[in-house]
Copies of this chain bind each other. A is one copy, B any other.
Amino acid sequence: MHIPMPPEFSKAAAHSAGRQVTIGKHDVAEKDGVFDLSIGLNYGQSIGSAQLLRWVTEHTELVSRPPYADWRCALTIGSTGSLEAAYRMFCDRNRGDSILTEEYSFSTALETAAPLGIKVFGVKIDDEGLIPASMDEILSTWDETARGARKPTVLYTVPSGQNPTGAMQGEQRRRGIYEICRKHDIFIFEDEPYYFLQMQPYTGPNAPALPPPATVEEFLGGLVPTLLSMDVDGRVMRHDSFSKVIVPGSRLGWVTASEQVIERYIRHAECCSQGPSGFSQLITYKLVDEEWGHEGYLKWLMNLRLEYTKRRNAILAACEKFLPREVVSWTPPAAGMFLWLKVDHQLHPDAATRCLIDIEQEIFDLCIDKGVLACPGSWFRAEQDKPLSGLFFRTMFASASEEQMAVAIERFGAAVRDSYRMG
């Protein structure tokens, strides 16, 4: 089996452009490798192949260095699958269990909780995401009868480049969240698909860009620490994914948690997914271990974040050029691929007579008419039965070209102007 190197973001991969990697059927028996088709394509353990498991464990040690002894990793079929398993491991609808998350949260995480009968409650957010004091207040004043659910025992959070708001929790914010979780004995699902897409600081449209980290050590040292790295209690289950940094179609990721939690996770996988695809494991292993190694993978990520920085800067430039600043505002994202646009609903000419959801729908429809998709904030509400707290639209700077992003933002601006009758 021959594997071409990923063709995108070719600078980092330039040293291997066009190279082919080979996997034979009996490489192990023939002492030509430690992982081969006869192993990877047979029935395996639900925890994943020993080879790739070793690699993700080493990588996790390098990045998070969890501060307790008995942490473990397990490969997953992707973070939606591992999150669903985690919900089922920690929550029980019959007990009236509930979870906390950002007041605007990842729609798939919400849609995965719903059929399990797990109630979701939203915590207030600011530019740095989830606000610890809001979480503390919710938990300290919990009224089971009024809420119709037991006091939450789990927090689901996307600390870096949160979907949909793009918010980035800084180190102190993370420590604050962790402390509130200790206080109320909350277990944390740390979902981090965008962790390595922490970008260069935004310096404005005309200021010179800051120099990027020069070495792998500098890159790692500059990343905001993970919740896992602060986890002195073993109360974090971190969900990592290759989807946003190598390939979504691999359906391959991993979780990290205490041995006790991982053991339960594996039991779950044994009577459900039975672990990720052997093809995905083999190909990913060949790439990240044999071809790149840890340093090569981190260099790939260093380059990837610069590509995202460029895209982020391009979409921000388009916003500055095309959006009516008197009603639309935003915070430059520090990680990920989402830009969250806030539209001041109090300035809408119909603010006194129409409800927010109605104005949101109008702007959404106007966008569609103009050929652009801007995902409305209501799609991401943690509590779907509560009134909207504002007018928000999620935009994305992952795969479109700079020109396409400019066209999209211009159309969004025109839709807002139409709705606001700004002529």
Contact = CB atoms under 8 A, between A and B. Distances in A.
Contacts of A251: 77, 273-278
A271 B84 contact: yes
Highest count of chain B CB atoms <10 Å: which of A115, A271, A281: A271
Interface string A25-43: 1000000000000001111
B273 A283 contact: no
Contacts of A78: 273-274
Contacts of A247: 41, 278
A291 to B, nearest CB: 14
A250 B41 contact: yes
Interface in A277-335: 277-281, 283
A81 B274 contact: yes
Nearest to A249: B278
A390 to B, nearest CB: 27
A141 interface: no
A112 interface: yes
A41 B81 contact: no
Q: How large is the interface on A (under 10, 10 to 19, 20 to 34, 35 or more residues)?
A: 35 or more
B274 A277 contact: no
B43 A248 contact: yes
Nearest to A399: B42
Contact of A25 (B7, B20, B268): B7
A270 interface: yes
A115 B271 contact: yes
A2 interface: yes
Copies of this chain: 2
A220 interface: no
A273 B1 contact: no
A235 to B, nearest CB: 23
A204 interface: no
Contacts of A281: 249
A243 B3 CA distance: 23
Contact of A249 (B40, B243, B267, B272): B40
A112 B279 contact: no
A333 B40 CA distance: 30
A233 to B, nearest CB: 26
Contact of A278 (B4, B250, B278): B250
Given A1-B3, A43-B249, A249-B40, A283 B274 contact: no
Interface in A103-133: 108, 111-112, 114-115
A252 interface: yes
Interface in A211-255: 243, 247-252
Nearest to A20: B2
A252 B276 CA distance: 10
Interface in A44-82: 44, 77-78, 80-81
A94 interface: yes
A273 B25 contact: no
A80 B250 contact: no
Highest count of chain B CB atoms <10 Å: which of A42, A84, A251: A251
A280 B252 CA distance: 12
B81 A273 contact: yes
Contacts of A268: 115
A309 to B, nearest CB: 23
A381 to B, nearest CB: 17
Contact of A271 (B111, B250, B275): B111
A394 B277 CA distance: 28
A411 to B, nearest CB: 24
A302 to B, nearest CB: 22
A286 B277 CA distance: 17
| Closest 10 A/B residue pairs (Cβ) | A249-B278, A277-B277, A41-B249, A112-B271, A279-B279, A2-B2, A251-B277, A277-B280, A43-B248, A41-B247
13 contacts: A7-B25, A42-B248, A80-B271, A80-B272, A80-B273, A80-B274, A84-B271, A249-B279, A249-B281, A251-B273, A251-B278, A277-B279, A280-B280
